[in-house]
Amino acid sequence: MTLTNNINFNGPLGNCCPDNEPASSVTIHSMYASNTIGTAITVLLGGATNITLPSNQSLDGFIANGTNTIFTIPETGRYYLTYQINTTASLGIGAGSRLLRNGSTAIPGSIVRPIVSTATFNNDLITNFTAGNTVSLQLFSSILLTATLLSTAGSVGAALTIIRIE
């Protein structure tokens, strides 16, 4: 067994890696961004609003736009995504959350549209991206609504994590 900065295991079952090279991690691209400032979000009737995520950013190759609402994927691959939205009061029936790809397409598996009023939205999914794709976290509604994200004592009002897994 050889140990270096990268781990390479050789043993009775053979080498773990082609050409006896150290294994490499495909999670080299990951990001986290949140909102801890209590932003008020207005969603017009039948509309959607991107959520700003300016707090605690650790972007590792991802690029945020100037309003911290759109994040650009740095490398083609398969990604794990998770998001949370926490508001100060329950939002009415008809409100929902989702991740948007390239500003126009809801990412399959990302939509949360509860059948009862709630103040918390969260979801996890795995999807493929091409380098240069963008991701946005949104609130949408079939009714007019204004939501305020949590901010008390550093609470996370919204957060998005993206990790490349292959």
pLDDT digits (tens, 9 = 90+) for 130-148: 999 999 999 999 989 999 9
pLDDT digits (tens, 9 = 90+) for 53-103: 999 999 999 999 999 999 999 999 999 999 999 999 999 889 999 999 999
18 in helix, strand or coil?
helix
Whether 149 maps to a domain, the answer reads: yes
Q: How many CB atoms lie within 10 A of CB 37?
A: 12
The stretch 40-56 carries a mean pLDDT of 96
Structure confidence at residue 25 (pLDDT): 57
Whether 3 maps to a domain, the answer reads: no
Q: Report the domain count for the chain.
A: 1
Whether 20 maps to a domain, the answer reads: no
Q: Domain range spanning residue 80?
A: 26-164
Structure confidence at residue 155 (pLDDT): 94
Whether 14 maps to a domain, the answer reads: no
Whether 73 maps to a domain, the answer reads: yes
Query: What pLDDT band is residue 28 in, cutting at 50, 70 and 90?
Result: confident
Prediction pTM value: 0.84
pLDDT digits (tens, 9 = 90+) for 3-23: 344 444 454 555 555 566 665
Whether 21 maps to a domain, the answer reads: no
CATH number of domain containing 56: 2.60.120.40
Whether 8 maps to a domain, the answer reads: no
Whether 13 maps to a domain, the answer reads: no
